[in-house]
Every structure is written in structure tokens, then in C-alpha cells.
């Protein structure tokens, strides 16, 4: 149970100190004088109950007084009238102490000013525990007790809460710390999570963010990701249920990506970056743990792909010759946003010889033509993740984003004779009635262009999508708000 009752301060002077504070030790004689001359002085000590010597003190051992009365610095002197604080001073400022205590001649041998120390109630090692203990009913999730001799990591595996990798135990302290990353109330419902259609609150998202290894500043991105995938447009239920190897791919844009240290450069899809990996993982854990989207149950992927653990990265906007993906989708360039895409694992595009945009575009078109099947048209979208060295070829030629996309689409108009079933000895294909009709590989807007990757290497990547029709999935872009 949370102890939420605030201790009432006694009338008179209340002084809060701790022995390990140098300023508190310096003013100990002043505290002793006040306590000896007045009968309305109450001294609370946070650490050593024998400090100050010669003074009857109240040991604020659980820091309840300091927490509830927002003592952030020691020493603190508070004047209380009728159980209500009327004024306070912190640290040592002789004039302020004399004014608040209505006593002159305090500490004549002391300097006139010295700053105090941080209160134990705001100690980073203690504050989250205090939030849990004294924070009232902020946390409403069910508590699961783990026996003393039970391995908490194995317990979470046994309960099916993991993605196959160990997760961080979501203690109350850790969840409270995670919640400092957002201004939203813990009880706010963010979305209804398929496939079980369960409401998910900010608190439940924070729990899974803790389990994924997120830092508090990542939480707004996780919340935006959940908003982006849990709707009819993205159709996470369909993305889960398909036998294709797809899952949410999260492309992040805006200055916030740099503020939280996301990777947009070398090894952008790989290991080593905490923000990239844990944001994507947290979104997947919410789908699993809250929505019930587990492999072998609703998740029916024939092969899946490693990105179904986490596939999240930032676009390299600073080095890009073009506007960002988010801007191309209507977001202001100074606004943080993410775009979710139902994608498979990335495949490499290699062209180390092209030095003109026409030749390089031919390579991209040839690779894109093979996406899923050379005869598959209009059914699937794609992300083209342009590496910096390839992007430079276009930039040097003056091609903007629109020109690149226009040229790609132009090269991906395919004669129906090459697409019909049985053509070129391939049974797959479009119906015979489409012979003689030119068909585009991708629908208008079906190629999403992103700039990311290391500065060395004439490589890019393509990420194939899932069905884009009425029963399929479409990319969704959401603004990230704290």
C-alpha cells in the first residue's frame, strides 16, 4: 500500500538538516541556539539521529516529512502557523534566517551566505522509491509478487512476458522513473491494442518500455508508435496475422532524434544503439503483452524476420540533400514525428560504379522490380533507404526528392505481357486479361524515400512492405509529443 498521508508540521519553526551536508554542520551551533532559546523549534534530521548534538531531533528516517513538504535543499527553515507553512528559507543566508526566525545576531562568526546541499528526498538513488511509496494511486497496474528465491528474469520468461530475450523487471521505482519522460497522466488511455482489443494506458506502455530497456526520454516516441500502429489504417492485426515476414518498421524524424541519441548513420539498422533498439522493442512488447500478439497464436508469419524484435531508426536529416520523410508527409521540419511501415527485413542495393543519376536509377529500378516477385505489381509499397554516397550522386546532379521518385516510377512501368501468368515460364502473375496493358510496379506514393546510413560505402537498402489494399496496411505518421 502507498503511504500518501502527509505529516502535519508543528507550529513554530521547523528546521530540516542532514549530517553529511557541510552547510548543515556549519550552522549546527545556530540550530542549537534556536532550540535552546525557543520552545517552538522542531528539528528534523534526514540521516544521523544524533545530529545536531545536544538537540532533541525527529529522525525523518523514511523521508516522509521531507518528501511531502517538498524539501529540496538542506538546511531548510520553515515557519508554520496554524499547521500551514507561511514562509521558508533554504541554505544559509544570515539575513533570511534572522527574518524567518525573528531572531537577530545569528552566527556572527559565520559567512553571511553559503548554499545548502541536496535533500535526500531528491537523491536520484532514492527519489523513484519515494515516488512509489508516497505518490498516492499514480500506479494502478496489477502487482505481481515474485518469491525471494525465484529468479525474476526466469519468472518473466515463464509468464510469457518476453520476446525471447531477457527483459528488465518493471518495478514500481523503474516505472515511476519512466513516467517522468511524459507529461501525460499514467491513467490516460492511448489506444486499443489488437488483436485482443485491450485498452492500453500510459502506465502500461511505460511498464513495457521499462522491460524493453528504454530511458524515460524515449517514452514519448514509444507512445507515438503505439498510436501509429493501433488503428485501422496501419492494421496491426493484419500485419500480425499475415504469413508474410513483416512487422512495424519505425522511421523517426525531427530534432528529438538527435537529442535522444538515435542512430541515423553507420550500422543504422544494426546493433549498438539503445534508443533505436529499445523504442522499437517496447512497441513490439506492448503488442505482445497487452494486445496478445504472440508468435504461434495470432502471429502466423511463415518465417518472420529479426526486425520483429525491433526495427526502428532515425533518418539522417542533417546530411540529406532532400526534405525528410516526415516533411514529405506533411510534418513541419522542426517537429518530432515517426512513420510506421509494415515491412520485411532490409535487402542491400549495390552499385559502386554509377556516377550519374540515370544509371543509378536504373539499378534501383531493377532491384525494386524484383520486390517479393518480379510479377507482383501495385500490391506492395516499399521504403528506399538511400545511403549517403548514392544520395550524393543525385544531389550533385540537382535531383530533388520528387525527381528521384518520378524517375523511379517511370522506370517501373511494366508491360502486361511480361506479367501475365505463365510468362517467362513463371506460373505466378496477373490475369491474362491484363496482357497488353502497362502496369506500374508501385501505386502512386508507394515508394517512400529515406536518407540514412554510413558515409562510406556505395550501398542503399530497400524494405519491402505488406499488402496495401483495403484489407492491408498503409504507412501512418504521428507527431511525437511529450
* Whether 107 contacts 90, CB under 8 Å: no
Domain ranges of the chain: 12-134, 155-479
* Whether 371 contacts 345, CB under 8 Å: no
Model-level pTM greater than 0.75? yes
Q: Rounded CA gap, 381 and 466, in Å?
A: 7
For 417, the 3-state DSSP assignment is: helix
* Whether 441 contacts 203, CB under 8 Å: no
Beta strands in 9-63 (DSSP E): 12-17, 41-45, 57-59
Q: Which segments in the chain show pLDDT lower than 50?
A: 1-3
The answer to whether the peptide bond before residue 445 is cis (omega within 30 degrees of 0) is no
Distances (CA, A) of 97 to 29, 39, 100, 274, 339: 13, 17, 5, 48, 56
DSSP state of 307: G
Q: What is the crossing angle of helices 357-369 and 388-396, to 10°?
A: 130
Q: Rounded CA gap, 228 and 235, in Å?
A: 10
Query: What is residue 2's predicted lDDT score, i.e. its pLDDT?
Result: 47
Query: What is residue 140's predicted lDDT score, i.e. its pLDDT?
Result: 85
Q: Rounded CA gap, 204 and 122, in Å?
A: 25
Query: What is residue 136's predicted lDDT score, i.e. its pLDDT?
Result: 62
Give 431-445 pLDDT, tens digit per residue. Answer: 999 999 999 999 999
Architecture (CATH level 2) of domain 12-134? 3-Layer(aba) Sandwich (3.40)
Beta strands in 420-458 (DSSP E): 438-440, 447-451
Query: What is residue 132's predicted lDDT score, i.e. its pLDDT?
Result: 85
Location of C-alpha cell 500551514? 84
Q: Rounded CA gap, 411 and 420, in Å?
A: 19
The answer to whether the peptide bond before residue 458 is cis (omega within 30 degrees of 0) is no
Amino acid at each position: 500500500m502507498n503511504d500518501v498521508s502527509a505529516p502535519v508540521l508543528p507550529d513554530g519553526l521547523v528546521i530540516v538538516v542532514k549530517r553529511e551536508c557541510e552547510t548543515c554542520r556549519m550552522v549546527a551551533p545556530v540550530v542549537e541556539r534556536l532550540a535552546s532559546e525557543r520552545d517552538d523549534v522542531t528539528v528534523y534530521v534526514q540521516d544521523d539521529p544524533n545530529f545536531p548534538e545536544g538537540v532533541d531531533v525527529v529522525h525523518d528516517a523514511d523521508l516522509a516529512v521531507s518528501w511531502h513538504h517538498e524539501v529540496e535543499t538542506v538546511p531548510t527553515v520553515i515557519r508554520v502557523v496554524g499547521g500551514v507553512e507561511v514562509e521558508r528559507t533554504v541554505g544559509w543566508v544570515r539575513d533570511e534566517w534572522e527574518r524567518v526566525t525573528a531572531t537577530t545576531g545569528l552566527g556572527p562568526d559565520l559567512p553571511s551566505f553559503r548554499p545548502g546541499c541536496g535533500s535526500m528526498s531528491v537523491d536520484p538513488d532514492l527519489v523513484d522509491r519515494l515516488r512509489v511509496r508516497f505518490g498516492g494511486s499514480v500506479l494502478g497496474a496489477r502487482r505481481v509478487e515474485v518469491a525471494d528465491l525465484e529468479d525474476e528474469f526466469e519468472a518473466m520468461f515463464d509468464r510469457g512476458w518476453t520476446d525471447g530475450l531477457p527483459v528488465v523487471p518493471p518495478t514500481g521505482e523503474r516505472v515511476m522513473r519512466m513516467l517522468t519522460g511524459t507529461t501525460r497522466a499514467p491513467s490516460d488511455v492511448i489506444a486499443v491494442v489488437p488483436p485482443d482489443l485491450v485498452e492500453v494506458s500510459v502506465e502500461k506502455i511505460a511498464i513495457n518500455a521499462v522491460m524493453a530497456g528504454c530511458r524515460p526520454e524515449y517514452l514519448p516516441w514509444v507512445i507515438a508508435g503505439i498510436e501509429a500502429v493501433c488503428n485501422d489504417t496501419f492494421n496491426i492485426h493484419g500485419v500480425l496475422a499475415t504469413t508474410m515476414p513483416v512487422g512495424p518498421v519505425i522511421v523517426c524524424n525531427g530534432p528529438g532524434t538527435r537529442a535522444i541519441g538515435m542512430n541515423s548513420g553507420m550500422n543504422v539498422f544494426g546493433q549498438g544503439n539503445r534508443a533505436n533498439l529499445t523504442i522499437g522493442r517496447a512497441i513490439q512488447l506492448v503488442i505482445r503483452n497487452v494486445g496478445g500478439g504472440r508468435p504461434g497464436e495470432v502471429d502466423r508469419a511463415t518465417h518472420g524476420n529479426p526486425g520483429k524484435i525491433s526495427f526502428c531508426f532515425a533518418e539522417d536529416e542533417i546530411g540529406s540533400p532532400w526534405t525528410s520523410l516526415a516533411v514529405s508527409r506533411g510534418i513541419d521540419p522542426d517537429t518530432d514525428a515517426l512513420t510506421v511501415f509494415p515491412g520485411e527485413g532490409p535487402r542491400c542495393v549495390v552499385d559502386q560504379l554509377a556516377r550519374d543519376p540515370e544509371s543509378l536509377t536504373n539499378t534501383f529500378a531493377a532491384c525494386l522490380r524484383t520486390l517479393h516477385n518480379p510479377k507482383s505489381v501495385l500490391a506492395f509499397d516499399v521504403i528506399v533507404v538511400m545511403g549517403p554516397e548514392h544520395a550524393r550522386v543525385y544531389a550533385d546532379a540537382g535531383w530533388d526528392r520528387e525527381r528521384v521518385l518520378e524517375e523511379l516510377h517511370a522506370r517501373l512501368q511494366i508491360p502486361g505481357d511480361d506479367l501475365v501468368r505463365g510468362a517467362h515460364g513463371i506460373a505466378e502473375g496477373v490475369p491474362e486479361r491484363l496482357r497488353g496493358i502497362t502496369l506500374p510496379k508501385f501505386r502512386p506514393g508507394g515508394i517512400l524515400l529515406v536518407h540514412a546510413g554510413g558515409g562510406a560505402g556505395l550501398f542503399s537498402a530497400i524494405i519491402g512492405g505488406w499488402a496495401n489494399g483495403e484489407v492491408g496496411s498503409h504507412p501512418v505518421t504521428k507527431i511525437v509529443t511529450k
